[in-house]
Amino acid sequence: MPYPVVHLMFFVFCLSSPALYGFAKTARLEGVHWTDWWYLMLLLAIGGFCSLLPDIPAVWNNLLYGTMEHTMAGPVPTHSLLFCSLAFIGVAFLGQLLYRNRDKAIALGTFAEAAALSHLLLDDVADGAITYFYPFYNESMNLFSYVDVDLADVNFMYYNLAGIVIVVFISCVMLMTLVSLNYLGFGIQYRPFKAKRPDAESEYDKYSVTSGSTRKGMYTSETEHGMKVIEADSAEKRQ
């Protein structure tokens, strides 16, 4: 299997690269608040943790038994779609607490699920044994190994079907990552976590208030001046 740092780098710098680009561009051209940096770090931390989630048993197995066994959490294979769904459930709940918005919570959960699936994808490329369909099918499989054969050795239809499945799997992981990040504001153009009032609008409001006050003062002065002129004319006529 790839080392943990490979899983982290693949998810952060490959799948999440549009989000990093959009954030860096906005930070350079417009500037971002410190809360936006915290938001980015939190998102990358969630994605990084979930990209390592299938290997989490290695932590307690190393502490308790001195081994690096990482494929089973009790009777459940960790390298399976079922176990990876824990990423969606747990992070979606966290997103509900963070956003107080169901749609954004689902988007954050989808982002976490894509991170966990990217782990399976890399392990599959590295010829790892993945129990994708546990508990419905308990035998391990490796999708990429199905097309790593000579075309003459297998059925033509089987060969192409295996290739289509691989492409669909990769595409799904990429789309889940990009769509969820864009919905959370991390697209090619970063949208701040909390909408900020544009400075130009604030300046415009200040100018409008000041101008309005000035015009009102001018109008009052002209009115008072006119009344004084009328009073002076009336006094002259009485004399």
Mean pLDDT of the chain: 80
What gap in Å lies between CA 84 and CA 113, rounded to an integer? 6
Helix and strand numbers, DSSP H then E, in the chain: 8, 2
Q: What is the pLDDT of residues 193-216, one digit of tens each?
A: 765 544 444 444 444 444 444 444
Contact present, 111 and 47 (Cβ < 8 Å): yes
Token pair of 60, please? 């307690």
Burial of 135 (0-12, 13-18, 19+ CB in 10 A): exposed
Q: Where in the chain are the domains?
A: 4-183, 197-239
Mean pLDDT (whole number) for 37-43 = 93
Contact present, 26 and 39 (Cβ < 8 Å): no
Token pair of 70, please? 């990482």
What's the whole-model pTM score?
0.76
Q: What is the 3-state composition of the chain as percent helix, strand, coil, each rounded to the nearest 5?
A: 70, 5, 25
What gap in Å lies between CA 61 and CA 18, rounded to an integer? 36
- Residue 84 predicted with pLDDT over 90: yes
